[in-house]
Chain A
Amino acid sequence: MDNATTLMPLFYVLIFPGFAFLVAFSLLAEFFDRKVYARLQNRQGPPWYQPLADLIKLLGKEDIVTDAADRAMVTAVPLFGLAAVVASFLYIPLWTADWAFSFTGDIVVIIYLLTIPAFVLVLLGWYSPNPFGSLGTSRVIAQLFGYEVPFTLAMLTPAIVAQSWKLTDILRYQADHQWFIVLTPIAFIGALVALIGKLERVPFDIPHAKTEIVGGPMTEYTGRKLALLRMMFQTETVVGAAFIAVAFLGGPYLFGLTAGLEGSFLGALVGFLIVMLKSVLLILILSLIKALFARLRIEQMVRWCLLWLTVPLLIQILAVVVL
């Protein structure tokens, strides 16, 4: 094996489309989110480098772990969560249906990896001696029941229609037929709403509702660990948006722009930009929702999700299977 073939996987994982690109893009997405949110509230909003400045500031702060906390656990868990999110990004076909990392069942792996941040929060709250951490943990678990079932059901609907557990096959099906946002609109809405629950954004920011339980599971964390946790949520936003963009919005396909360019560098570039554009559009929707709503209570959230997300999604899956 020559050097190039040994180094390429490392390049994929660490630089592009892996860790470095994901962090850069998520910082940009965070800026976009904050700016849109600010403008909707008649505020000026932060400059473009603010998310980066926040990250650097947090990284430079003193790293405090309370005596009552389990030091090894508290240090390892945020890293574990970030690693899971970064790993899940590799399986999302970003510019072509011939994705190198694709395999049968990758959609399940992505769903699984995107669940890990919730468990990271549970562990953090569990190992923190803070009462707000315990309350936050119980809310994280309760909320998990609210959104995880609809999210899985919603993401599996395209798989059932395309009759494949492979994301690239779902992509090809959309290229041949129609985007899944048109074919299964309820699943798209369900996935987006469940993603809000996953990302703990308004109106589902219940587990870390600051006026109620300060920071929830994250109350005791500061410095590097808080930076990692924030980065985990920011990257999860981008990964979740890209996941939905590929599964429902036709990924790199848009008005046949990439037609005839398959396999070429230009085709890959255009396709990649289209996926990024669609992800940013989804993040825009998330920002609008954030500006429009108040925070719900945990029992309202779970009841609403089970009634108005899970039930319609089950009906849709039933319809898809029968038809």
Chain B
Amino acid sequence: MGRITFPIGPQHPALKEPESFKITAEGECVVEVDIRLGYVHRSIEAACCHRNFVQSMYVCERICGICSHSHNNSFARGAEVLLGLEVPPRAKYIRTIVAELERIHSHLLWLGVAGHEIGFETLFMLVWRDRETVLDLQEMISGNRNHYGMSTIGGVKFDLTTEMVDKIRASLDILAERVAYYKHVATTEVTLLKRVENVGVLSEQLARDLGACGPTLRASNVAYDVRAAIPYDAYPDVEFEVSTSDLCDVLGRTIVRVLEMAQAINIIRQLLDKLPEGDIQVRARPRVPEGEVVIRTEAPRGELFYYLRSDGSDKPARVKVRTPTLANWPATIAMLEGAYVADVPISIASIDPCMSCTDR
């Protein structure tokens, strides 16, 4: 059979956001992949440089609709370093709780999308139903389901009341049960296993060489997690394991994400138990002293990198963001070459790509 070239994207049912993959296939086997980025470039950096720090923080939150808190929090932390502010412990705890809730909601979303990519619509529907539990919590805490606007320079915007803490605990019990169930499904369901086992293989060496990050890296048996490597916010105060898998395939990535959800529940429970009393915010001056800072955060998709530079005015001089998806693209290309056409969507989805993050 001759070669056939077809596009996946920028408009394709497998992709939720516009990005283009030009696939050359021989029969059902992929021989070449060409990737084109930049369809949703929104000039975030330029937009930030024309606004003051507080406004820019909210612009940055809009980089992503799923891991919004990671962006918002990273920017706030960067500005705090430049301003020399010490954030109250209660604010740090609340930030971490929201970040871990976001991780659960992001991983549940991913699990549903993965089910959809391999034609397992029932998994998609059930997982997204359970995801509502987390979104309800976020709405209760911040008033919004996705763009919480939780962190602000010098602390957090909203406090947790006792009733909220009780509600979070109750919801976590439900989630823990569902996560245990999904772990069972992901490791035993026959047709699911047939579609994820030995698919999108990324060896440990290749993962290191190509600079993969986040769950993609951890599923290739590299125990690297920014939360453990350079703990920030309230992470120094909690105990958790870095979830890894030595399977190096889509199944490994599924297991890592499910385990991370269980760890996130564990982390939130510890934080709720130890939640300190006190203020949630300190005052920040609008003018930020001259200087530059690099902030690294473990977003649900991997290591998020922020570079901020201030020239002493109330507007940032540079805001450089490197999102985890961008770091994972080379690894994705490596997974796709030589794979079956049928495995292309699930392999792309397995890194949990966020195109809008990548293009900014």
Contact = CB atoms under 8 A, between A and B. Distances in A.
Interface string B125-147: 11001000000000000000000
B14 interface: yes
Interface in B305-360: 340-345
Residue from B1, B12, B25, B194 having most chain A Cβ neighbours under 10 A? B194
Contacts of A206: 342
A301 to B, nearest CB: 10
- Name A's interface SS: helix
Interface in A179-216: 202-203, 205-206, 209-214
Nearest to A295: B119
B6 A41 contact: no
Interface in B157-202: 189, 191-192, 194-195
B12 A294 contact: no
A43 B121 CA distance: 12
B6 A212 contact: no
Interface in A76-97: none
- Name B's interface SS: helix
A40 B129 CA distance: 13
A131 B120 CA distance: 25
B4 A131 contact: yes
A305 to B, nearest CB: 14
B129 A212 contact: no
Nearest to B121: A41
B13 interface: yes
Contacts of B6: 131-132, 135, 213
Contacts, number: 80
B122 interface: yes
Contacts of A296: 191, 194-195
Contacts of A212: 14, 341-342, 344-345
Contacts of A209: 119, 342
Nearest to B190: A293
A202 B4 contact: no
Contacts of A297: 194-195, 340, 342-343
Given A138-B1, A211-B13, A211-B345, A294 B125 contact: no
Interface size grouping (class) on chain B:
20 to 34
A98 interface: no
A300 B13 CA distance: 23
B4 A135 contact: yes
B10 interface: no
A5 interface: no
A299 interface: yes
Interface string A111-139: 00000000000000000000110110010
Contacts of B343: 297
B192 A294 contact: yes
Interface size grouping (class) on chain A:
20 to 34
Contacts of B191: 203, 293-296
B118 interface: yes
B195 A295 contact: yes
A293 B120 contact: yes
Contacts of B344: 212
B118 A294 contact: yes
A205 B119 contact: yes
Given A211-B345, A294-B115, A300 B194 contact: yes
Contacts of A293: 120, 191
B119 A203 contact: yes
Contacts of A41: 121-122, 125-126
Given A132-B6, A295-B195, A214 B122 contact: no
B55 interface: no
Given A211-B13, A211-B14, A214-B13, A295 B340 contact: no
A293 B193 CA distance: 11
B28 interface: yes
Interface string B1-18: 100111000001110000
Contacts of A14: none
B117 interface: yes
Interface string B24-56: 010110000000000000000000000000000
A133 B117 CA distance: 19
Contacts of B119: 202-203, 205, 209, 211, 294-295
20 contacts: A41-B121, A42-B125, A43-B125, A135-B6, A135-B341, A202-B121, A203-B119, A205-B119, A209-B119, A212-B14, A214-B12, A291-B121, A291-B122, A292-B122, A294-B120, A294-B191, A294-B192, A297-B340, A297-B343, A298-B342
Interface of B: 1, 4-6, 12-14, 25, 27-28, 115-123, 125-126, 129, 189, 191-192, 194-195, 340-345
- Ordered nearest first, which 4 A-B pairs have the shortest CB separation? A295-B119, A294-B120, A131-B6, A41-B125
